[in-house]
A = this chain, B = another copy of it.
């Protein structure tokens, strides 16, 4: 069958841009064989046109003029790989206005300013494709929108940040302190020189906003996500958890809940959590990502792979280019609530209303009656203890007491923590970590 030529512009010639160019140059024939699409790199735009990158571009296509791309009527698809939410916003809106479909890996831009961008795409009858924005090479967007389209999605539990997962895995398996594991993640190239957005949970929350929008067919207001990072995680808690059969992961969770009693609401949260070491997600370690999706028909399905890096992310970008060129992305975009057509905003379950099990570590004075005090404060808030662990003291004046609770309302736990903190017999700020059980797979 006759092939279709697809002219592409890459805006932003950094790591991912280099990977995209590599794939298009190396696999163009292969992609043509499988899809009948001839991908052709027409422009690569960057402010730096002199630095050497590990790919050899055809002569004349590298330049620093976005205007040349905007003016080139033959360019159908532009790939935004600048990053950030300001210049990238201007570039994306200019590209859409000039009639280009946009492929992007920019999760921050879509999570924080998608609500501004999608109407512009609609206005110009163009689409925005973003498989690469979540979990690098794992085709999680495709799975949610296509493979699982028949399902009501009930929950997503994801390990979506490779930096954090690498750090937590090293702490868990090698007994390294947080600071050491972070430094190693930086040397190994898994963490940025400024890792703040990774370790404080922001990056995971950006991805969660995008996944939840697709899963539930609702507009998601990014600030509705409750976010806690791993930057205060202590090795001691990982080790106590391990002793009790748990692994700590930074989880991004979106789930339909009826906790408020009245109607369906979406719970959206990113936080460190203990999960049973028997859970499939517990086995996702090192820099890998893993996302569990629970649907009413499919039950539990899990997607695993490299969530970052030059080639895995470029794999997702080029998959999107193919989908846009074939017309499928545009169809999906126009039909998706919150993207190409108006979507209603989902009701949000406030974080205080979330029910979870909890892990508590308290430094309590080692004398009679103290445990009774703790148990009474928890009991008064309807928080029931499921397990308890007390080791020999590491401080002269106090002993660490580790408590696992049954399901409790998060707001009640927060109240209990305030009261525990006021006790004279509690010698340091209590540590409280979620203990999470993904939904049963009853398929």
Footprint of B on A, CB under 8 Å? Answer: 1, 19, 23, 27, 30-31, 33-37, 131, 137-139, 142-143, 146-152, 217, 280, 283, 295-306, 309, 311-312, 314-319, 321-323, 326-328, 331, 334-337, 341, 441, 443
Contact B149 A34 (CB under 8 A): yes
Report chain B residues within 8 Å CB of A336: 34
Q: Which of B34, B297, B334 contacts A315, CB < 8 Å?
A: B297
Total copies of this chain within the assembly = 2
Contact A146 B150 (CB under 8 A): no
C-alpha gap A316/B311 in the complex (Å): 29
Contact B312 A297 (CB under 8 A): yes
Report chain B residues within 8 Å CB of A300: 305-306
Chain B nearest Cβ from A443, distance in angstroms: 5
Report chain B residues within 8 Å CB of A441: 306
Report chain B residues within 8 Å CB of A314: 150, 297
- Contact A36/B302 with A131-B147, A315-B295, A328-B328 known, Cβ cut-off 8 Å: no
Report chain B residues within 8 Å CB of A131: 147
Contact A297 B33 (CB under 8 A): no
Contact B35 A149 (CB under 8 A): yes
Q: Which of B1, B36, B331 contacts A327, CB < 8 Å?
A: B331
Report chain B residues within 8 Å CB of A147: 131, 138-139, 142-143, 316, 319
C-alpha gap A143/B143 in the complex (Å): 7
C-alpha gap A393/B34 in the complex (Å): 56
Chain B nearest Cβ from A81, distance in angstroms: 15
Contact B298 A280 (CB under 8 A): no
Chain B nearest Cβ from A16, distance in angstroms: 11
CB-based nearest B residue for A24? B150
- Contact A139/B150 with A1-B334, A306-B300, A311-B298 known, Cβ cut-off 8 Å: no
Q: Which of B23, B148, B309 contacts A150, CB < 8 Å?
A: B23
Report chain B residues within 8 Å CB of A301: 137-139, 303-306
* Interface CB pairs A-B, < 8 A, 24: A27-B296, A27-B297, A34-B217, A34-B336, A137-B297, A137-B301, A138-B147, A139-B143, A139-B147, A142-B146, A143-B143, A147-B319, A148-B319, A149-B319, A150-B315, A150-B321, A280-B283, A296-B311, A297-B315, A298-B312, A302-B304, A304-B304, A306-B441, A328-B328
C-alpha gap A268/B149 in the complex (Å): 31
Contact A322 B137 (CB under 8 A): no
